[in-house]
Amino acid sequence: MRIGIGYDVHKLVENRLLILGGVNIPYDKGLLGHSDADVLLHAIMDSLLGSLSLGDIGKHFPDTDPCYKNISSLVLLKKVGELINSKGYMIENIDSIIIAQSPKLSPFIDDMKKNIAESLKIDTYKVSVKATTEEGLGFTGKKEGISSQSVCLVEKI
C-alpha cells in the first residue's frame, strides 16, 4: 500500500474557461495555464504519481511541449491511471479538495467525480471531491486564483 499527496494552483484570468474535474464551470474567469489548467486534476495526478515515486506532472507532461497546449487534463489523467496500472498497482481511493472563494462548486461535484472515475477506470465511490472557501483570506479568498489538494492510496495488485 502506498500513499501520495498532490497540490496545484493556478491564477484566475479573463478570457479562459474555468475547467475543474473536467467540467466547464460557468464563471467570468478561468484558470491560466499551458493545458486547460484544471487544478483539481493536476493535484490528483501529482498525488497518484507521487504514490509510486514517479515524479510530477511537469516531468510527464512538460509545459514546454506544444503537444500539451490547451489539452484536456482528463486525457492526461487517463495516461497517469494507465501508468499506475502498468506498474502493478490499483487505485484504492482519492480524496481531494478545491479551494475557491467562488463560484459555488457543489452543483458540479458529482460530474467531477464521474469524470475522474471514468478516466481512471475506477468506481465513483473511490473518488471524493470537496470544495471550500478561505473566508476571504489569501489569494484564493481574494479571488486571484484557485488551488487544490489531493491524497490517494494505491495498492499492489
pLDDT tens-digit map of 28-75: 999 999 999 999 999 999 999 999 999 999 999 999 999 999 999 999
The annotation status of 38 as a binding-site residue, yes or no, is no
Mean pLDDT score of the chain? 97
The whole-number pLDDT of residue 90 equals 98
Residues paired with 152 in a beta bridge: 4, 94
108 grid coordinates: 458540479
Answer yes or no: is 9 a known binding residue.
yes
The verdict on domain 2-156 having CATH code 3.30.310.50 is: no
Categorize the per-residue pLDDT at 24 as very low, low, confident or very high, splitting at 50, 70 and 90: very high
Tell me whether residue 87 is annotated as binding: no
What average pLDDT does range 19-36 have in this prediction? Answer: 97
The CA–CA distances, whole Å, from 57 to 25, 51, 86, 144 equal: 23, 13, 17, 23
Say if residue 135 carries a ligand binding annotation: yes
Torsion of CA 9, 40, 142, 138, to 10 degrees: -60
Q: Is 8 annotated as a binding residue?
A: yes
DSSP code for 53? T
CA 77 – CA 43 distance, rounded (Å) = 10
65-124 per-position pLDDT tens digit: 999 999 999 999 999 999 999 999 999 999 999 999 999 999 999 999 999 999 999 999
The reply to whether 42 sits in an annotated binding site is yes
Q: For residue 19, what are the CA distances in angstroms to 7, 88, 157? A: 16, 31, 32
Which residue in this structure is represented by grid cell 489569501?
138
Residue 10 counted as an annotated binding residue: yes
